């Protein structure tokens, strides 16, 4: 239940459009909905401004579908991340309008069209292999109503590709920079813009990349300022935070 729904409910009670008993009933899962295997955090939207997002990894397809089904009874967009095709096939049994993006591994169910933000988020990748993580970030930001601009494959091995886009990139209100291997791109970008940079290390690379550790350490120790870091491959976290900053 988000802030608006509660306000409406309270007004209805005040106007006697609804009895106290009925209002109480509507509020019975106000804090969270107990599903046995999960407790859906209904209060979250009111508290943080964002509905709960479903992290599908480690859950059975049945659990994922059960949570989608329950959340579908509310009036907010639904996002599942790290979803498999199996999760999706289970979800659409009850929510046939849900959509699957195999690249970003997301299941989305748009219940209402949020008004686009005036300012936008730039999402930038170093290479082609970083695109799935970037897309997870983009889809997350978009489902929360943000305008997103994508700049892919502009890594430091051919840095002129970045410069070519730089004047455009500088117009964003917040930047998400996604890179694997040595993860140097956020340092370069961070040294040239006056906006917050959210750095996302990816597990792209091999050997001493150690599944994203090299990029992670590189981004944490960046000599440029205005940069912060999220977990390896955590496109969702970056998109969520970017949305939060973009909407300030």
Interacting positions 160-199 with its own copies (CB under 8 A) = 160-161, 164, 173-174, 181-184, 187-188, 190-196, 198
Place of tokens 């500088």: 170
For its own copies, the closer of residues 19 and 192 by Cβ is 192
Cβ–Cβ under 8 Å, residues 244 and 61: no
Q: Which stretch binds its own copies (CB under 8 A): 10-18, 93-101, 106-114, 120-128?
A: 120-128
Residue 86 interacting with its own copies (CB under 8 A) = no
Burial of 13 (C-beta count, 10 Å sphere; 0-12/13-18/19+): middle
The residue count of the chain comes to 248
Residue 8 Cβ, how far from its own copies at the closest point, in Å?
20
Cβ–Cβ under 8 Å, residues 216 and 229: yes
CA distance 243 to 185: 21
Query: Which one of residues 43, 84, 101, 145 is an interface residue with its own copies (CB under 8 A)?
Result: 43
Q: What element of type H or E holds 6? A: helix 3-14
Query: Which one of residues 2, 29, 31, 147 is an interface residue with its own copies (CB under 8 A)?
Result: 31
For its own copies, the closer of residues 18 and 152 by Cβ is 152
Residue 137 Cβ, how far from its own copies at the closest point, in Å?
12
Residue 237 interacting with its own copies (CB under 8 A) = yes
Sign of CA dihedral 167, 169, 174, 180: negative
For its own copies, the closer of residues 12 and 165 by Cβ is 165
Residue 139 interacting with its own copies (CB under 8 A) = no
- 210 to 229, contacts with its own copies by CB under 8 A? 210-229
- 88 to 107, contacts with its own copies by CB under 8 A? none
CA distance 41 to 44: 6
For its own copies, the closer of residues 14 and 36 by Cβ is 36
DSSP-assigned beta bridge partners for residue 100 = 107
85 φ/ψ angles, rounded to the nearest 5 degrees: -60, -35
**Count of residues of this chain found to bind its own copies when the rule CB under 8 A is applied:** 94
Cβ–Cβ under 8 Å, residues 53 and 77: no
Query: Which one of residues 79, 126, 148, 172 is an interface residue with its own copies (CB under 8 A)?
Result: 126
């Amino acid at each position: 239940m988000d802030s608006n729904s509660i306000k409406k409910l309270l007004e209805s009670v005040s106007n006697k459009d609804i009895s106290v008993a009925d209002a109480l009933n509507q509020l019975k899962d106000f804090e969270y909905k107990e599903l046995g295997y999960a407790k859906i955090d209904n209060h979250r939207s009111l508290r943080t401004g964002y509905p709960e997002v479903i992290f599908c990894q480690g859950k059975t397809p049945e659990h994922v579908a059960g949570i989608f089904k329950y959340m579908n009874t509310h009036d907010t967009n639904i996002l599942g991340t790290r979803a498999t095709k199996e999760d999706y096939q289970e979800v659409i049994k009850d929510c046939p309008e849900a959509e699957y993006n195999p690249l970003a591994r997301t299941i989305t169910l748009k219940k209402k069209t949020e008004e686009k933000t005036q300012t936008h988020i730039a999402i930038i990748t170093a290479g082609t292999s970083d695109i799935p993580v970037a897309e997870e970030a983009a889809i997350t930001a978009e489902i929360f109503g943000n305008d997103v601009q994508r700049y892919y494959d502009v890594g430091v091995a051919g840095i002129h590709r970045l410069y070519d886009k730089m004047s455009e990139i500088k117009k964003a209100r917040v930047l998400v920079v996604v890179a694997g291997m040595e993860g140097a791109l956020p340092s370069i970008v961070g040294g040239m813009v006056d906006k917050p940079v959210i750095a996302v290390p990816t597990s792209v690379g091999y050997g001493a990349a150690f599944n994203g550790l090299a990029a992670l350490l590189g981004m944490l120790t960046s000599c440029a300022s205005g940069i912060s870091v999220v977990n390896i491959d955590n496109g969702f976290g970056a998109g969520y935070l970017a949305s939060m900053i973009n909407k300030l």
